């Protein structure tokens, strides 16, 4: 009340600011501090695993490289992709609809709606 907006600004990209968002930000900052702090001999295996996982998540260059390689492998197994393929790629053998059909559901196994199916590149839906 009163001066709350003066001391608790709503950050860009958010709709509101509450005491809960303040606590959530504080917890997030503390977790980041704990996870990025070097380990010691007294840490248990769960703490070590959490820190290793956090460190790996911060390596965005490796994540991007690994993700791109996985995507290339999936595309190559399912008909290739013109911009990623070698010089031996054949335009008359490539069918976009076939690649989309074969890769549907690879990354999204759950059905969101009875009339919706997730694909590798985009979602198509049909309402009867």
* DSSP-derived secondary structure for 40-70: -TT--HHHHHHHHHHHHHH-HHHHHHHHHHH
Give pLDDT, residue 73.
Answer: 84
What are the angstrom distances between the C-alpha of 97 and each of 11, 35, 85, 91, 125? 42, 45, 17, 13, 15
**Whole-structure pTM value:** 0.46
What are the angstrom distances between the C-alpha of 6 and each of 1, 10, 14, 20, 31? 10, 10, 17, 17, 27
Q: Do 51 and 35 touch, CB atoms closer than 8 A?
A: yes
Domain regions of the chain by residue span: 4-58, 60-125
Give pLDDT, residue 108.
Answer: 54
pLDDT tens over the chain, length 128 residues = 678 778 888 888 878 888 888 888 899 899 899 889 988 889 999 999 889 888 888 888 888 888 888 888 887 787 777 766 666 667 777 777 877 777 776 655 544 444 444 444 444 444 44
Say which residues have a Cβ less than 8 Å from residue 26's Cβ, sequence separation at least 6: none
Q: 3-state DSSP call for residue 102? A: helix
């Amino acid at each position: 009340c009163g001066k709350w907006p003066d001391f608790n600004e709503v950050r860009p990209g958010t709709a509101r600011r509450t005491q809960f968002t303040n606590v959530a930000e504080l917890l997030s900052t503390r977790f980041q501090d704990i996870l990025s702090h070097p380990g010691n001999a007294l840490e248990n295996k769960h703490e070590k695993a959490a820190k290793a996982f956090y460190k790996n998540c911060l390596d965005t260059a490796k994540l991007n490289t690994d993700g791109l390689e996985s995507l290339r492998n999936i595309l190559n197994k399912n008909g290739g992709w013109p911009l990623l393929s070698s010089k031996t790629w054949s335009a008359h053998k490539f069918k976009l609809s076939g690649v989309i059909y074969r890769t549907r559901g690879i990354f999204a196994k759950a059905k969101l709606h009875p009339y919706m199916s997730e694909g590798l590149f985009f979602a198509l839906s049909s309402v009867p």
